[in-house]
Structure 1
Amino acid sequence: MARIRGLAVSVLMIAVASLMLAGAMAAPARAQTLIRDAEIEGIIRAYAAPLLRGAGIPPDAVTIRLLKDGRLNAFVAPGNRLFLFTGLITSTERPEALIGVIAHEIGHIAGGHHVRLNRNLDTLGTTSILAMLLGTAAGALVGRPDLGVALGMGAQDAALRNFLAYSRTEEASADAFALKALERENLPAGGLRDFLQTLEGQTALTPESQDPYLRTHPLTRDRLSAVETHVARSRLGPDDVPPQWRDWHARMVAKLNAFLRPPGEALRLYQGRDDIPGRYARAIAHYRAVELDTALGLIDGLIADEPDNPFFHELKGQMLFETQRVPQSLASFERAVDLAPEEPLLRVALAHAQIESSDASLLEPAQDNLRNALSRDDGNALAWRLLAQAYGQAGETAMADYAMAETALRSGDYDRALFHVGRAETQIKRGSPTWLRLQDLRGEAERRRDEAG
């Protein structure tokens, strides 16, 4: 799970991917936390990919991010970014409901409904909310779910809620897209119906008591009737979801529950569960309860059952790394990367361990891993910060300043970005690719600083 260390430095940084964006949009006391997790993001991408391809949208063109919030919500933002609240995922015992919501949100992308958000950015008054929507917040530093970064509270939540609100026409259009897309891909729409029926039960509540999805996605009886009629006529049912997706879903929910709930609560929830999701959850819960021997015993058992599962190796690496056993963690992180070399969050986790190992011979491999990760996910501020650290420890001060400029830009600290650009410019050969990139960074940092006021 990418750092849930705090969803750990790896794809769990509590598992190395990073899980959370936490917070609730309406509660003044809550903040929003971005979390990243390679395994969970991969599962959601698998759900979304056929629906996107059927709509003529390349799956790689859509970015999927998770927000740590126990309530039900999902939305799309400029740049084809799909945000899902963790509460939406953990509320679904089976994948159909989540797939239905994803299909609906893809309908907003396909219909261009989120494009209007670009015209309304000035309605949001804070840099943090803009950063969340545009993917440039300090939250990008999180490589793991448990490393939450506050992005907005109080009146900001209300502004964001209004900003993301869809019209009834847009909602009906997204429903129509979802029903057609699900049918085309031989996936049942019963989950979407069940989800809307759950929301319908909240319509009598005060707005403050409703899940944020209902407040931004207005529900009408006509909408629900259209979905119910489609499901009644469809030949597809729950058994038409691929069996592998059910297994993935159970693991994803178990992982989130184990990282987001108190350890004792998670252990009670999965007590007596000897299937893989149950053992996975207990391994994480025992780890979070600082019962490392028990946790390692469980994860070793899972690895014995599935030796080629990169996320089990990642979790073991995280357990060792975060309990100051950095040298021992390297083999687990290396195995995870060997098994999933295209997962950037896994490479970030490995690079972090390589840098913290105090072995100078590992600085160059760490740089290679980070550059590889950034070639696939260049918005990852944590990766840029670690790259700056690796350059600095290797005595490459100019490149360290360059990487810190990239870090600061993605963290929303535009003055610091300009400071590091200025330092790097004096050391980098004029006209070189890195020097030209520094000019781009300067212009972008100045523009964003001026827009932020």
Structure 2
Amino acid sequence: MLALLAAGAAAVQPPLAAAQDARQSIVRDAEVEALLRDYATPIFQAANIRKGAVQIILVSDRSFNAFVADGRRMFINVGAIMDSKTPNEIIGVIAHESGHIAGGHLQRLREQLANAQILAIAGMLLGAGAVVGAASSRDRVGNAGGGAMGIAVGSQELVRRSLLSYQRSEEQAADVMAVRFLSATQQSPRGMLDTFQRFNQDAMFKTSSIDPYLVSHPMPNERIANLDVLAHKSPYFDAKDPPALQARHDMAKAKLFGFMAKAEEVGRRYPASDVSRPARYARAIVAYRYKRLPEALSQVDALIREESANPYLWELKGQILLEFGRAQEAIPILRKAVALAPAATPIRVLLGHALVATESRGSADEAVRELSNAVQREPEGAEGWRHLSRAYAIRGNEGMAAYAAAQAYFNEGDYNAAATQASRAKEQLPPHSPGWLKADDILNTRPPKSP
């Protein structure tokens, strides 16, 4: 379900926990990330969300879901893209989640959680008072603690229902804002409506035993009815996605199936009789995954001949060559990909990986340049820093190699290893040099506390 939190139907999960769950299975892909950014940019502008203020993060989960865990990160399951038919459906998801961000729902939820804690404590104190009173009349009432238990349980249920009622109202508010953002960008709310209708067909909702108060979103029929009225009021309800955007969506979807689905599922969805580009893309990736190298390269080369300006096809070919031990051949292919998509950090990191894989001093110099560019763009990643450490080591710069390794460990959350490498870097780098100062920062940074 499109959700403010990654919460179950009968639980209210803190935003930080949702973010931590998502971090355990983050997916990086330059092509899909670029597509989602293009989907989001006009919506963010309509929502008055500053450019670069919100990062869209892919989660390795096949369910159709999206959520915001704070005001800076929007998580979208790969399953949302894999299950969607049109860009408009995902744009609707982004519009809904943008409604949560623009509406300040996360901050207000934190306030509600704080209020809920006060209510829960008050309930427990009242229950304790009932225990004291019951103990003094134990001889007259056989079940001395029964009233206290009822008060405590009742207060917890009141807290739960209060929070869920709050979430339902915020979900409805996000729907309204989403339709407004879509209209402001001359896009259809039909995708949102189609998504809700698909949820309504889910068997888990087809039961009369569900307590509506224990569902963290309005019941599907209610939401569909409300959204249907809003959507049909839009003058852009019948607007279609541009063909070029639909083509990119189909390619991204095929890519995700190729990498994440079993070969049998890919074969059913993209049979050999389907000669479309998305189908051949998916089959090429499956051939690569199952180590059928000649078949994979042949299919990718055919796609490149048809669409030579597509950086992600060059990226895929370079990745295949690199992972099959042909790093030297991969380098010019990945240079081409970087030239076509210079802002795509994952491709630049892949080029850096290929360069250091040759163990050549000359290649290491280029690797330092490319990887330094990459980590400057995305300093919170780990892979780029890891390859940069190796590049510095090949060049014989052990101090910077240790610093880059420290940064990689720090970004992965291994703070002990980060401290070890940062201390080593400080021992080998000139005092107060940029690398020395950054290593010192790592040593003086306190790790975040677990919730």
Give the letter for the 1:452 counterpart: S
1:179 & 1:222 partners in 2: Cα distance?
16
2:92 is the counterpart of 1:94: no
- Establish whether residue 44 from structure 1 lines up as the match of residue 45 from structure 2: no
Structure 1 residues 425 and 218: alpha-carbon distance in aligned structure 2, compared to 1, 3 A threshold: farther
| Cα distance in 1 for residues equivalent to 2:300 and 2:101 | 39
Distance 2:196 2:173 in 1: 15
1:263 and 1:288 in contact (8 A); partners too: no
Give the alignment of 1:101-180 within 5 angstroms: 101-115=93-107, 167-180=167-180
Residues 52-106 of structure 1: CA deviation (Å, up to 9, x unaligned): 0122223322211111111121111225111111111111111221111110011
* Corresponding residue SS for 2:366: helix
Q: Distance in 2 between matches of 1:401 and 1:165?
A: 52
Residue matched to 2:70 = 78
Pairing 1:416-435 to 2, within 5 Å after superposition: 416-435=417-436
- TM-score, normalised by the number of residues in structure 2: 0.78
Residue 205 of structure 1 deviates from its aligned partner by: 5.5
Q: CA shift at 1:117, angstroms?
A: 7.3
- The higher relative CO (CA closer than 8 Å, separation ≥ 6) is in 1
For residues 382-423 of structure 1, the C-alpha deviation after alignment (integer angstroms, 9 at most, x for no partner) is: 111111111122211111111111111111111111112222
Query: Partners of 1:246 and 1:367 in 2: how far apart?
Result: 37
Contact 2:199 2:220 in 1 (8 A): no
In structure 2, the residue corresponding to 1:426 is in which secondary structure? Answer: helix
Output the TM-score relative to the length of structure 1: 0.77
CA distance change for structure 1 residues 116 and 423 in 2, over 3 Å: closer, same or farther? farther
After alignment, is 385-394 or 236-245 more displaced?
A: 236-245
Runs (5+) with no aligned partner, structure 2: 1-5, 9-20, 115-162
- Counterpart of 2:428 in 1: which secondary structure? coil
* 1:20-419 map, 5 Å: 32-78=24-70, 80-115=72-107, 167-202=167-202, 204=205, 217-219=217-219, 221-271=221-271, 272-419=273-420
Q: Secondary structure at the match of 1:84?
A: strand
Change (3 A) 1:432 1:39: same
Q: Which amino acid aligns with 1:187?
A: Q
SS of the residue corresponding to residue 57 of structure 1 reads coil
The answer (yes or no) to whether the contact 1:35–1:65 under 8 Å persists in 2 is: yes
Give me the whole-angstrom Cα distance separating, in 1, the residues matched to 2:242 and 2:341. 22
SS in 2 for 1:379: coil
Question: Which stretch of structure 1 is more off in the superposition, 263-272 or 336-345?
Answer: 263-272
Which whole-Å CA distance do the structure 1 matches of 2:172 and 2:289 have between them?
43
Higher helix share: 2
Secondary structure at 1:183's aligned position in 2?
A: helix
When residues 121 and 228 of structure 1 are mapped into structure 2, their CA distance, relative to the original with a 3 A threshold, is: closer
What amino acid maps onto 2:192 in structure 1? L
CA RMSD of aligned residues (A): 2.8
* Distance (Å, rounded) in 2 between the aligned partners of 1:118 and 1:99: 27
Structure 1 runs of 4+ off > 4 angstroms? 116-122, 163-166, 214-222
Asked if structure 2 preserves the Cα contact closer than 8 Å seen for 1:283 and 1:296, the reply is yes
Q: How many residues end up aligned between the 2 structures?
A: 379
Aligned partner letter, 1:89: I
Cα distance, 1:361 vs structure 2: 0.7
> SS of 1:452's equivalent?
coil
Displacement of 1:233 after TM fit?
A: 2.5
Q: Secondary structure at the match of 2:52?
A: helix
Asked if structure 2 preserves the Cα contact closer than 8 Å seen for 1:78 and 1:117, the reply is no
Quote the offset at 1:447 in angstroms: 3.7
Are 2:415 and 2:447, in contact at CA under 8 Å, matched by a contact in 1? no
Q: Deviations over 1:110-165 (max 9, x none)?
A: 1122346778999xxxxxxxxxxxxxxxxxxxxxxxxxxxxxxxxxxxxxxxx999
Aligned to 1:139: none
**Cα separation, partners in 2 of 1:412 and 1:223, compared to 1, 3 Å:** same
Superposed CA offset, 1:352-381 (max 9, x none): 000001222100110111111111111110
In structure 2, the CA distance between the partners of 1:66 and 1:165, relative to structure 1 (3 Å rule), is: farther
Q: Which amino acid aligns with 1:439?
A: D
Give 1:224 deviation, angstroms.
Answer: 2.7
SS of the aligned residue for 2:205 comes to: coil
| Deviating more after overlay: 284-293 vs 363-372 | 284-293
Q: Secondary structure at the residue paired with 1:240? A: coil
Q: Distance in 2 between matches of 1:215 and 1:400?
A: 51
Is residue 186–residue 240 contact of structure 1 (8 Å, CA) maintained in 2? no
Residue identity in the other structure for 1:268: R
The answer to which of 360-369 and 215-224 deviates more is 215-224
| Shift in alpha-carbon separation, 1:382–1:170, aligned structure 2, 3 A | same
User: Could you tell me how far apart the structure 2 residues matched to 1:229 and 1:387 are?
Assistant: 54
C-alpha separation between the residues in 1 aligned to 2:257 and 2:110? 35
Distance 1:219 1:166 in 2: 14
- Flag structure 1 segments of 5+ consecutive residues without an equivalent: 1-23, 123-162
